[in-house]
Structure 1
Amino acid sequence: MTMRKGVPVSVDAMIEDLRTLVETESPSRDLDALAASAKAVAAVIESRLGGRADLLPSAGGPHVHWSAGGDPRVLILGHHDTVFPLGTLERRPFRVADGRATGPGVFDMLGGLVQAVHGLAALDDRSGVEILVTADEEVGSHSSRALIEERARACGAVLVVEGAADGGGLKTGRKGCGTFRVSVKGRASHAGLEPAAGVNALVEAAHQVLHIAALGRPEAGTTVTPTVASAGTLDNVVPAEATVVVDVRVETAGEQQRVEAAFAALTPHLDGAEITVRGGIGRPPMPESASAGLFAMARRLRPGIDGASVGGGSDGNFTAALGVPTLDGLGAVGGGAHADHEYLLVDAMAERADLVAGLVDAIRHG
C-alpha cells in the first residue's frame, strides 16, 4: 500500500477492478463486446472518482470520457479494446499468482487504466483532469483520432497509460508507423500451354518485395518489412493477381515523407503489369522532444526512472505530433503485449498509480 496525501492506494481494490475489466472481453471491431467493455470502464471510473463517465458512440465502438470539471489541464489517455478474440478468457482466465496478474489485456492496457483511476482517486483535488479511453486504438484509432486531438489541444498535456517499457521505464519517444498494401494486377494464362501469354503477378510481386525491403534505413531508425503476401488461384494458372502487405516504422517526419514518396513511385518491372498502392503511415513519429518536460517531472518524482524510445505506436503519437507535451508508458509494469504470456507485476501497481497522481499534481501546480 502506497500513501499519497494521506489517502491509501489499495492494491487489492486495483486487482478487483482489473479483474472486472479483463473478464469483460473487448476485442477490437466487436461492437457488442466493446459496448459492454465501455460500460465496465465507465462503472469503474464512476465508482472510484465520482461524477459521470460519458459513453461516446463511434463506428469503432464506444469511447469513454470523464472530466473532473474546471479548466482542462491534463488528459489521461488510454484504450479499452484488446487484440484477443472472444473466448480467449476461457482458455486464459484472469489469475494472480507469484506476484503476477495474467489474462488477456492485463498489460496492454487494462492495468494502466486501473492504476490511473486509483492514482487520481488518491488526490483531494482532481480539477482540470480528463480521462479518455478509446475503443479502436489497436486497429488504427480511425474513429477516435479527431476526439483525441481535440481533447489533447484543450488540455495541453497528455499522460498515456500504455504499458511501461522494459524494466518499468517510460516511453519518451515512439516511431511513426503504418501499413502499405501493394496490389499487383497481371493476366492469367495456362501455365503449361501458353505461359508467355500471361503476365505473372507473382513474379512482379517478387520484384516489388525486393525493392520495397531495400527502402529500409536501419541507421536512420527506418524499418520497411514485407509481412504478408498472397497470389494465385491454381497450380496450373499464371497468377493474375498478387498482394503484398508491408509494415513501416520511421523515427522522423523526413523519413516518413521519403518512404511514402517511394511507395507512390513504385513502377512495374513486367510489361503489362499494373500496381496499386494503398495505405500509409497513419501514426506520425513521437519525437523525444515532445516528452522532455514531462519526463523531467517524472524523474523528479521518481529519481532514476528510465526513458526509452520504442518502435511501437500509440495514440500518444497523434498528440505529440500536435506539439502537445506527451509522456507515454505510464501504465502497467510487465510484458508480453499481444501474446499468451502477457503479464503485469502486482508489486509495481501502487507505485505507478502514485506516479500518475504525482504527475497530475505537478502539471497543474508546477
Structure 2
Amino acid sequence: MNYRDAARDRLDLLIDHALRLVACESPSGDPGALERSAGLVAMIGAAYFGVRGEVVTRDGVPHVRWRLGHGPRRVLVLGHHDTVWPVGSLQRLPAVADGGALRGPGSYDMKTGLVQAFLACALVRERPGGLAGVSVLVTGDGEAGSATARALIERESAGCAAVLVPEGAGPGGELLTARKGVARYRLEVVGRAAHPGLEPERGVNAGLELAAQIPVVAGLGDASVGTTVVPTAGSIGTSVNTVPDTARVAVDVRARTDAELARVDAALRGLTPRTPGARLVLHGGVTHPPMPPSADLFALAAASAAALGLDPPADLAVGAASDGNFTAAAGVPTLDGLGAVGGGAHTPDEHVLIAPIADRVALFAHLLDRLLAG
C-alpha cells in the first residue's frame, strides 16, 4: 500500500473527526466531561478499528482501550483524551479548520494526534495479518499525571516490542526521543495566628517564612545538567487582618536523571525553618520518571521516512513529560512526538498545521507496519 496516498485520500475524514473530538470538551478532573469524551473516542475509534473501544474506568476516570487481534501484545499505541481546558473554553476558542490550521482547545495536545494514530492503524489493518498484537490505550488523566492510568499503561506495555505515542511533534516536526522526569511538591509553612494590630508579636508569620524559603527552593535547580526547580502557584493566610499562620507554594521539578530527582527531593526534605516557631511540611514527590531515548526505534522511524520519500526526521529531547515516560522507564522502547505538527499547547494559540498531517500518518503507519513485520 502507498501509505502517503492513502492518508491524503482520507484527510477530510480525519479532520472532521479531530474537530469533533476538540468540540467535546474534556478537562482533567471533570467526570461528566471525561465520560462524554471517552464515549466519543470509543465511537470514533470504531470507524478505524472495526470495533468500539472498551471504556475502562479507574477511580472515576474513564480510559479507552482496544486489544486488537489475537496473540501476545506486540505494539502499544498510547495517548490521552483529557485536556487542560475547562468547560466553556470553546465559546472563545472554537473548534475550526481554516487558514491551513486546525484550532481549538486540545487540538494539538493531543486530539488531532489521536485521530492520526487511529487512521495510521486503519491503514495497517489492511495489510496481511492486520493489527494482531496491537493495543491502543487512550487515558483520561494524562494531563493530570496519569495517577489512575499508570497501572493500565504499564500492564498494556509489558512485553511489547515498542510503544508509539502520538503526542504533538517538536516545533519543527521533530520526533521526541527523550523527556525529563517530573516531580511535584507542595511546601507548606505552619506558623501561629495573631491580631496584627493588638498583639502581632504573638504571631509567627508563615508568609515571611515562605518568602525566605522560596529563593532557597529555586536555587536547587542546576542549569548545567538541565535540572529546573520552579516555585509556582501559592497562597498566604486566610484573612487580611490576621498574622498568617499558613502559607504554601507548589514546586515543579524537571530533571533528566533519577539521580537529579533524588538530589532535589532530599534537599527539599532537608529544608529547615528560618523563622523561630515556624514549621515546614512537604507533600508530593516524583510523578514521572525520566524517559530515556530508544536509538533503535528512532532509527527504524528514520528508515520508514526514507522508504516513504520523506525528509529525515530530527530528534528532540524536551522537558515536558507524557505517558511515554512510564513505558520507557519500564524498559519498553518508546518513541514520542509521532502526532500533529503545530504549537501553542495550553495557550489560546493552540493549533495544528494541516499540510503535514497526511505524511505524519504515513510515517506512523509505515513504522507500525515494520514493527508488526518483525
- Structures share fold, TM-score greater than 0.5: yes
Secondary structure of the 2:164 match is: strand
Contact 1:28-1:82 at 8 Å conserved across structures: yes
1:300 aligns with 2:303: yes
CA–CA distance in structure 2, aligned partners of residues 346 and 175 of structure 1? 29
Cross-structure match for 1:352: 360
- Secondary structure of the equivalent of 2:178? strand
SS in 2 for 1:166: coil
**1:60·1:142 contact (CA, 8 Å) conserved in 2?**
no
* In the alignment, structure 1 residue 240 sits paired with structure 2 residue 239: no
Measure, in 2, the Cα distance between the counterparts of 1:338 and 1:35.
Answer: 21
Q: Distance in 1 between matches of 2:161 and 2:152?
A: 14
Q: Establish whether residue 259 from structure 1 lines up as the match of residue 258 from structure 2.
A: no
Q: Which residue of 2 aligns with 1:18?
A: 18
**How far apart are residue 7 of structure 1 and its match?**
4.4
Looking at structure 2, the residues matched to 192 and 87 of structure 1 have their Cα atoms a distance apart, in angstroms, of: 44
Q: Contact between 1:186 and 1:272, CA under 8 Å: does it hold in 2?
A: yes
Q: Which amino acid aligns with 2:62?
A: P
Deviation for aligned residue 1:220: 0.9
Distance (whole Å) between structure 1 residues aligned to residue 178 and residue 60 of structure 2 = 26
8 Å contact from structure 1 (residues 60, 136) kept in 2: no
Helix, strand or coil: the match of 1:225? strand
| Residue 265 of structure 1: how far off its partner (Å) | 1.2
Structure 1 residue 185: deviation in Å?
Answer: 0.5
- Partner of 2:61, secondary structure, is coil
How far, CA to CA, are the matches of 2:39 and 2:195 in structure 1? 57
Q: Does 1:228 align with 2:233?
A: yes
Shifted more, 296-305 versus 77-86: the winner is: 296-305
Letter in 2 for 1:257: A
Cα 1:342–1:5 change in 2 (3 A) is closer
- In structure 2, the partner of 1:315 is 323
Q: Which residue of 2 is the match for residue 195 of structure 1?
A: 200
Give the corresponding residue for 1:101. 102
Q: For residues 162-187 of structure 1, give each alpha carbon's deviation from its aligned partner in whole angstroms, at most 9, with x where no partner exists.
A: 10011110111001112110110011
Higher mean displacement: 4-13 or 353-362: 4-13
**Contact 1:64-1:132 at 8 Å conserved across structures:** yes
Does the CA-based 8 Å contact 1:77-1:160 persist in structure 2? Answer: yes
Instruction: Verify the 8 A CA contact 1:122 1:357 in the aligned structure 2.
Output: yes
Runs of at least 5 residues in structure 2 that lack an aligned partner in the other structure: 307-311
Distance 2:180 2:243 in 1: 39
Q: 1:50, CA displacement in angstroms?
A: 0.6
Secondary structure of 1:62 counterpart:
strand
| Residue pair 2:49, 2:122 contacting (<8 A) in 1 also | yes
2:76 match: 75
Q: How many residues align?
A: 363
1:99-157 C-alpha deviation (Å, 9 max, x unpaired): 10111111000010100111111122211111000000111101100000111114231
Distance (Å, rounded) in 1 between the aligned partners of 2:260 and 2:174: 26
Counterpart pick for 1:144 among 144, 149, 156: 149
Matched, 1:284 2:289: yes
Once residues 60 and 261 of structure 1 are traced to their aligned partners in structure 2, the CA distance between those partners, rounded to angstroms, is 33
Calculate percent identity across the aligned residue pairs: 48
Q: Structure 1 residue 60: deviation in Å?
A: 4.5
Return the offset for 1:6: 7.5
Any idea what the Cα deviations from partners look like across 1:285-324, whole Å, max 9, x if unmatched?
1122xx2111111111225211100010100111111011
Alignment of 1:28-177 (within 5 A): 28-70=28-70, 71-123=72-124, 124=126, 125-177=130-182
| TM-score, structure 2 normalization | 0.94
Q: Find the aligned partners of 2:238 and 2:45 in 1 and give their Cα distance.
A: 52
Q: Does the Cα contact within 8 Å between 1:89 and 1:103 map onto a contact in 2?
A: yes
User: 2:219 and 2:5 mapped to 1: Cα distance?
Assistant: 58
Runs (4+) of structure 1 exceeding 3 A deviation are 5-9, 233-236
Q: Please tell me whether the aligned partners of residues 60 and 135 of structure 1 are also in contact (alpha carbons under 8 angstroms).
A: no
Distance 2:224 2:41 in 1: 42
1:325 matched residue in structure 2? 333
Q: Give the drift of 1:193.
A: 3.7
Cα distance in 2, alignment partners of residues 315 and 73 from structure 1? 18
| TM-score, with length taken from structure 1 | 0.96
